[in-house]
Structure 1
């Protein structure tokens, strides 16, 4: 059986798109693994859904396995993520050509960071993708923009991007 993979590209947002047709959700996620771990274990709450996710690898193609857990299981594990969390509002919408984007507006110490991700069926599709004008710099392979990295050291990156 082939391991599930996620093929995605991630960009900073140069200008906010029209979100009137996009779906909004609130996310909080925390990391159970420490920075030195090669595998990432994450808890995520999206509105009323709770998920435990294991990711491996790096770059635009990564292994990903998710299982839905109960709210009680989530709340039992959540304290273990202290100091390794992100909170964001996610907008999911459609791009021309049938692709879906996920635009994340980070909250708390990571504000005003805004990023957008697009998932693809193949690595070739990902490489051939031409981003819309409102997408900014491609940060797909910049480890500093991974959510785990943002949860740990993102405050300094946000300050750097803001010119401070």
Structure 2
């Protein structure tokens, strides 16, 4: 079984930008979404597409199964989406000890939202947390991308 273990944070300030080493433009949408499962299609830089199935409701660890699909299939599936298109640029920011943060700068309907994820190898990992990370939202379903697509951006005070 594929497994994704990650911590998710709101970003407190733009201090990460000077450290970013790469970026990719992502357009993603959901074909199915419920509390314990979702099916997502993601288009990377308009050139490649991937179908992802996520299972479970725990914010830290969830089942994850990913499959490359033809770009044209993804384009055609976009019209069958649930909710809004999620558009973002993902920036890679190296951290101490070989870790990395993926900082997502959202545009479109989620413009202004900036979040960071740190993928873990085990549930017990404790990567360094840089000062640009704000409040942790790992277990808050309002910040799952599937929920953002359906419900939109949570209020700033959330």
1:140 match: 138
Between Structure 1 and Structure 2, which shows a larger proportion of helix residues? 1
1:19–1:91 Cα contact (<8 Å) kept: no
Q: Which has the higher strand share?
A: 2
Which has the higher mean CA deviation after the structures are superposed, 45-54 or 16-25? 16-25
C-alpha separation between the residues in 2 aligned to 1:106 and 1:37? 22
By how many angstroms is 1:117 displaced? 0.2
How far apart are residue 83 of structure 1 and its match?
2.8
Would you say the 8 A contact 1:84–1:148 is kept in 2? no
What is the alpha-carbon distance in structure 1 between the residues aligned to residue 20 and residue 89 of structure 2?
15
Alpha carbons of structure 1 residues 100 and 38: separation in structure 2 relative to 1, 3 Å: same
1:81-108 Cα distance to aligned partner (Å, 9 max, x none): 1533200111012111110111000001
Distance 1:21 1:9 in 2: 19
Matched position secondary structure for 2:43: strand
Aligned length: 154
Alignment-derived partner of residue 7 in structure 1: 5
Give 1:29-48 correspondences, 5 Å limit.
29-34=28-33, 36=34, 38-47=36-45, 48=47
Task: Structure 2 unaligned segments of length 5 or more: list them.
Answer: none
Structure 1: stretches of 5+ with no match in the other structure:
none
Q: Quote the Cα distance in structure 1 between the aligned partners of 2:36 and 2:5.
A: 18
Alignment-derived partner of residue 89 in structure 1: 89
Deviation at 1:129, TM superposition (A): 3.5
1:19 CA displacement: 3.7
RMSD of aligned Cα (Å): 1.5
Give the Cα separation in 2 of the matches to 1:150 and 1:94.
26
Give a deviation string over 1:93-151, Cα, whole Å, max 9, x none. Answer: 211111011100000121100000000110000xx334111100000000000000111
Distance 1:146 1:73, change over 3 A: same
TM-score, length of structure 1 as denominator length = 0.88
